[in-house]
């Protein structure tokens, strides 16, 4: 079901995500004068200089020209989604502004606030909700400055807010804590989006089929990990080769290396880091269903 062009599911993500952002701002950042980038950080600065102007009001006010620009560049659907997200964030920020700060330790506030910000941001990404604030501004600016990447432009926008906080608060530590909060937010968001179930993938081209068979059997028996055989062709001699793909947890890296050295010395090995592995031995596609309960047709 959709309201206008925004589905009810998207609205739910907008509400939950922006509620988390607002609580992080009200409970950690604003009481400790930490402007962790974004229009929310700008709102913290203006609220400090002019207490009668609430953070939410400032965020909404500075967003208006950005929305007008976005309407012509990104289109109506994208802009409406970003507008709803900003309105929700502004409203929640002002509604819960009565909440007391949860800590007066600025380092702890930067860490906890950044973590909450990161999780809330991941919720918005998971819901495919259009970005707002400096994220939307950066997307618009890169259409004019095409030689600058989106990530760099977001960093520039947030950097300007952090620098402004140092001038407004007259305290270099405010900028340091804000930068720390942004770092924690980025790390947390990446971890939530890409998953905590990290793994290492070995791609092994063995000298011959016999050593490849020994290597595969050893990995399956000693590490209880699956091995996939992938036919390959060596382009130098145009000879048929076999490549083994092995996915293991990080703590098993050295065990795999030892097995390769013992069973198939002289192999060509490529080790890749995977953000997340889904399937038997790791976790299922549905996190609510244990891997052992997943049918064979659902396994990787």
Do residues 81 and 150 share a domain?
A: yes
Same domain, 177 and 237: no
267: tokens are: 């192999």
Asked whether the beta carbons of 142 and 21 are under 8 A apart, the reply is no
Query: Please, which residues have CB within 8 angstroms of residue 216's CB and are 6 or more apart in sequence?
Result: 227, 229, 244
Q: How many domains does the chain have?
A: 2
SS3 content of the chain, % helix, strand, coil (to 5): 60, 10, 25
Domain that holds residue 257: 199-298
Residues 239 and 208 in one domain: yes
116-153 core/surface letters (b: 16 or more CB in 10 A; e: else): bbbbbbbbbeebebbbbbbbbbbbebbeeeeeeeeeeb
pLDDT in tens, the chain (300 residues): 444 456 788 889 899 999 999 999 999 999 999 998 889 999 999 999 998 899 999 999 999 998 999 888 888 877 888 888 899 999 999 999 999 999 999 999 999 999 999 899 888 888 877 667 788 888 888 888 888 877 788 888 888 999 999 999 988 999 999 999 999 988 888 778 766 667 889 999 988 888 889 999 999 998 888 899 888 887 877 777 889 999 988 888 999 999 999 998 889 999 998 877 777 666 554 443 433 343 443 333
- pTM, two decimals, is 0.69
- Report the CATH number that the domain containing residue 218 is assigned in CATH: 3.30.70.120
Domain boundary among 194, 213, 228: 194
Same domain, 120 and 180: yes
- Choose one of 194, 219, 237: the last residue of a domain: 194
Question: Of 194, 212, 236, which closes a domain?
Answer: 194
């Amino acid at each position: 079901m959709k309201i206008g062009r925004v589905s009810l599911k998207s609205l739910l993500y907008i509400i939950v995500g922006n509620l988390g952002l607002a609580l992080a701002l009200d409970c950690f950042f604003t009481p400790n004068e930490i402007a962790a980038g974004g229009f929310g950080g700008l709102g913290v600065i203006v609220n400090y200089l002019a207490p009668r102007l609430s953070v939410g009001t400032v965020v909404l006010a500075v967003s208006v020209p950005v929305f007008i620009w976005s309407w012509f560049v990104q289109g109506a659907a994208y802009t409406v989604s970003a507008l709803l997200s900003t309105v929700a964030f502004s409203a929640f920020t002002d509604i819960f502004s009565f909440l007391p700060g949860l800590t007066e330790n600025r380092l702890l506030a930067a860490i906890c606030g950044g973590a909450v910000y990161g999780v809330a941001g991941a919720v918005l990404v998971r819901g495919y909700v259009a970005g707002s604030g400096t994220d939307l501004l950066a997307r618009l600016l890169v259409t004019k400055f095409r030689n600058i990447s989106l990530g760099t432009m977001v960093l520039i926008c947030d950097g300007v807010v952090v620098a402004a906080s140092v001038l407004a608060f007259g305290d270099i530590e405010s900028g340091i804590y804000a930068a720390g909060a942004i770092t924690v937010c980025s790390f947390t968001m990446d971890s939530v989006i890409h998953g905590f179930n990290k793994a290492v993938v070995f791609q092994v081209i063995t000298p011959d089929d016999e050593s490849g068979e020994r290597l595969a059997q050893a990995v399956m028996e000693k590490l209880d990990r699956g091995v996939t055989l992938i036919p390959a062709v060596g382009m130098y001699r145009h000879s048929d080769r076999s490549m083994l793909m092995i996915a293991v947890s990080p703590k098993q890296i050295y065990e795999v290396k030892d097995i390769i050295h013992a069973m198939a010395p002289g192999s060509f090995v490529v080790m890749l880091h995977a953000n997340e592995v889904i399937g038997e031995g790791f976790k299922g596609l549905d996190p609510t269903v244990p891997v052992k309960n997943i049918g064979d047709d659902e396994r990787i």
